Structure 1
């Protein structure tokens, strides 16, 4: 591994071990796939990984007004991976649909007549997607693994590419950018890579969740404000969904294997639920008279903080769902 400009560069094999070693407080339920389009393969000379990543960060900060580079990772034509924004931070990659996501940008233009993906790049994309599914115990399907093309550009509503969408991650990305293309050409490769690596079942004590209500919430080594901060992990950020393993005097244990605690005063309880309708409209308030601001597809998961009559509110967002179309985990 090599570090520069605050980024870390690694091979696909190194990434598998590295991601398993990371302590990440927020709950992840989707992995986004993107292509950069520009820069593309012509901008990569085999040595300028860090310079390309820094250039993207500068563009995102100066031109887009974001606080950091938008993506968590960038993959390169030679099969290497460079880290981006903090894994504790929500990405800035799919407008209106970044919640609980990891964002990967693949350097290149993978539209028809664009770059021809190298074998090294192809393997790394599959390998890192499989590693992320394993790390976060995600099923290999088109709910957990998503393409930018499936979300309307101006609203963030999921419409599966029926109009007003970018081509990202490319019309020739592993056979195409449609949902059926992903299911036919990309997901089987991810599943094959994970063959023999069954997702571990979740321990029964971690079906409780909270959302962080503070701008930044320290993780400590014991349930006390005087305890030292946990080394090797960053603070949990506003809106992050944390799994809760134990409780002690108002403190919440957020790791099954480590003594890592946050102060519960700066969190609010949320319930995990699954959409049971083919398409569920998301509204700006608790009633059918409020405007539609998003769409959710069947089997998508959400975290609910408030129930108001027949309506349920996203964790810290002003977005509401009809409660009757949600299956709550007991």
Structure 2
């Protein structure tokens, strides 16, 4: 591994081992696929990984006004992987779909007529996706692994590429950017990559989920405000969904394997739910008289923070769903 400009560069085998060792407070439900489009292969000279990543960060911060580079990881034509923003930060990649997500950008223009992805990068894209699904115990489907192309640019609604959409991750990304292309070409490769791996240990019993209501919530080594901050885990961010394994005097334990605690006063309990309708309208308030602001598809997961007259509020957002079309776990 190499580090420069605050980024870490690694090979795919190094990434697979590294990601399993990372302790991430927020709950992850989706892995996003993107291409950079520009910069493309003509901007890569074989050794300027850090310079290209730094340039993307500068553009995102100075031009877009974001707090950091938008993505968590970038894959490069030689198969290398470079880290981006903190895994505790929500990505800035798909408007309306960044909640509870990890974002990967793949260096290159993978539209038809653009760059032909190298075998090394293909292997890394598949391997990264498999490793992330393995790490976060995600089901292998088009609701856990998502393409930018499937979301409307203006509204953030998922329309599976039938409206005002980017081509990202490219109209020739593993044979195409449609749902059918994903199911036919990309998903089987990810599934194959995970075959033969030892089954993960059964997850520890989660007592409940909470959403962070403070801008930054410190993680401490014991259930006390005087305890040292955890040295191997950053503060939890506003809106992050945390898994709770134990409680003590108003403090919540967010790790099964480490003594990592947050103060419960700055959280709200949420319930995990799955959409059971083909398409579920998301409204701006608790009733059919409120405007439609989004759509969710069957099997998509959400975290519910409030209920009112048969309507459920998504986390800290002003987005509401009919309780009739949710299954609670």
TM-score category of the 2 structures, normalised to the smaller one:
over 0.9
C-alpha offsets along residues 205-261 of structure 1, whole Å, 9 cap, x if unaligned? 215100000110111111111111111111100000000001111111111111111
Q: Is 1:73–1:105's contact at 8 Å kept on the other side of the alignment?
A: yes
Aligned counterpart, 2:24:
24
- Structure 1 distance, partners of 2:198, 2:110, is 31
2:41 is the counterpart of 1:64: no
Q: Is 2:158–2:295's contact at 8 Å kept on the other side of the alignment?
A: yes
Task: State the 1:129 CA deviation.
Answer: 0.4
Give the TM-score normalised by structure 2: 0.98
Aligned counterpart, 1:278:
278
C-alpha offsets along residues 79-107 of structure 1, whole Å, 9 cap, x if unaligned? 00000011000000001110000000000
Aligned counterpart, 2:80:
80
RMSD (Å) for aligned C-alpha atoms: 0.9
Give the TM-score normalised by structure 1: 0.98
Aligned counterpart, 1:163:
163
Give structure 1 stretches of 5+ with no counterpart. Answer: none
Cα distance, 1:291–1:202 mapped onto 2, change above 3 Å:
farther
Task: State the 1:71 CA deviation.
Answer: 0.3
Q: Is 1:112–1:170's contact at 8 Å kept on the other side of the alignment?
A: yes
- Structure 2 distance, partners of 1:208, 1:41, is 46
- Structure 2 distance, partners of 1:315, 1:196, is 37
Q: Is 2:204–2:256's contact at 8 Å kept on the other side of the alignment?
A: no
Instruction: Give the alignment of 1:317-328 within 5 angstroms.
Output: 317-328=317-328
2:220 is the counterpart of 1:220: yes
Give structure 2 stretches of 5+ with no counterpart. Answer: none
2:118 is the counterpart of 1:118: yes
Aligned counterpart, 1:5:
5
Matched residue count: 329
C-alpha offsets along residues 186-210 of structure 1, whole Å, 9 cap, x if unaligned? 0110010000226536535215100
Instruction: Give the alignment of 1:164-313 within 5 angstroms.
Output: 164-197=164-197, 200=200, 202-203=202-203, 205-313=205-313
